[in-house]
Amino acid sequence: MLFNSPIFLFIFLPITLGGFYLLGWWRGRNAALLFLLAACLVFYAYSSLFNFSLFLVSVVVNFLFGYAIAHFRPNSRAWLIGGIALNLALIGYFKYTGLIISSINQLFSASFIIPIIALPVGISFYTFEQISYLIETRQQKAEPSLARYSLFVSFFPHLIAGPIIRPHQLLPQFSAPTFAHFSWQNFALGISFLLFGLFKKTIIADSMAAYASPVFASAASGGTPGFVNAWGAALAYTFQIYFDFSGYSDMAIGLGLMFGVVLPFNFNSPYKATSIIDFWRRWHITLSMFLRDYVYIPLGGNRSGPARRYINVMLTMLIGGLWHGANWTFVAWGGLHGLFLLVNHAWRALRGEREVTVVRQWIAQIGTFFLVVLAWVFFRAESFDAAQRILDGMRGLHGWLHGPLLDPAPGFSEMLKVIGLTVGDDWLAGGSLLSWFVAALAIVWGLPNTQQFLLGEGRPKNARLAWRPTLGWAATLGLLFGVAFTYNLVAANRVSEFIYFTF
């Protein structure tokens, strides 16, 4: 079930919110918890009954492993290793079987049949979360309630695409006295996060996808995009994935707050980063922390000298790339970021701390952004050949303009016609593509992010453009929702899934 779909926004969410708080007021927080758990299971079962069955088995088995780790202390390490191995085997079978067999076929000229295995929605996220539960259980006590543990894993705001939650971040909130007690402040903040995220996804991210997808598809089928087309596609995808993931992260935070649950922030203006190190402190923050704590540090971290540290960084980033998808292009993307990180760490070790001036900050920010754009080409391309064609186009090897400039927001002019405004067919196409990129850069570089805007983090107290729970802001957010929902269904005539839903 997609957060931006009508069935979620107008049926599932109102029923779940109403039932949750009504039961909390009438029967107490335990009844509200059970109702919310049932709603979360319905949310996941909506995608596939097979996926739902697999999910239930995974939850129950990991709960039992956690119990064994906590209660059979002499053998807790063996139980922990067994639980982690089982989780990795599960994700390995469903996500990487095809990649392994196809790689064997290519390396040894074999002809093994590649099975068609559908990837269960959210398996990468709920598997990592349950691994973190098993690891924390060995250090602390296990969760005694299967219901609370199941809600920890299945809480729908983070179930499909994160953030990756640690047990200590969520489980205590389900036992707090304030759980299932309605708060107007939380609700107002939550719905504001939700609507900002919906706007980012439907208006900006999906508009950028309309340009990026055809060009990358053309490259995958042998097309050779020219300089303008290749850079246009690379930049369009750069902004698409930014606003898609930023929009999802906002909606996840907002949905959690609407239920009185605080989820960790997972996105913090990563294109404002002034280094690749800084980028990974801002992009998919909970994944970065998971890889640091459960991959990089166990590998040895920086405890065995610079050479070993660099090896550990590279291995961690390769694993992080592979986690994103069963394609060697994702590994290449992780490897590129690993290489960038090595150079970044080596440069810092060589030059030491230097005075940060405005000019140096902007040069570092632009340079970091450029490297991120190049790496996204491998992340988006379906194959190395397709990535190479895009990169060759970006180098000008296919000419200046090879292929048509597409409308970055098809249907937006149609939406304007619905409300009585007529614009020319070339209003959004051609040279106006540059205007979209300039506007996107102005947003990601010049404006505060959503948590800064809504929560006031790093914002002057007397700022004029500041959110407050007033009727004026309610009307503004209602207008944003109207534009986003109209474009999503009337103009685009579709409901697109979030990029990270496929991981």
Q: Which residues are catalytic?
A: 324
Tokens found for residue 405? 């400039």
Q: How many CA atoms lie within 13 A of 236 on its CB side?
A: 27
How many of the other CB atoms lie within 10 Å of CB of 427? 14
Using CA atoms, how far apart are residues 35 and 23, in angstroms rounded to an integer?
8
Considering only CA atoms, which of 147, 366, 166, 159 is closest in space to residue 264? Answer: 166
Nearest to 216 by CA among 231, 202, 206: 231
Find where tokens 């685009």 sit. 492
What kind and span of H or E run contains 19?
helix 13-26
Spatial separation of the C-alpha atoms in residues 476 and 492, rounded to whole Å:
23
3-state secondary structure of 125: helix
Amino acid at the residue 35:
F
Distance CA 247, CA 449 (A): 11
User: Residue 135 has which token pair?
Assistant: 């690891």
Task: Catalogue the E-assigned strands of 108-233.
Answer: none
- Cα–Cα distance for residue pair 432/422, rounded to 1 Å: 17
Token pair in block for residue 323: 């986690």
Q: Please give the C-alpha separations between residue 143 and each of 55, 74, 85, in angstroms, as whole numbers.
A: 18, 19, 21
Question: What would the 3-class secondary structure string for 267-307 be?
Answer: CCCHHHCCCHHHHCCCCCHHHHHHHHHHHHCCCCCCCCCHH
d(CA 156, CA 255): 9
Number of Cβ within 10 Å of residue 301's Cβ equals 16
Contact 263, 158 (CB under 8 A): yes
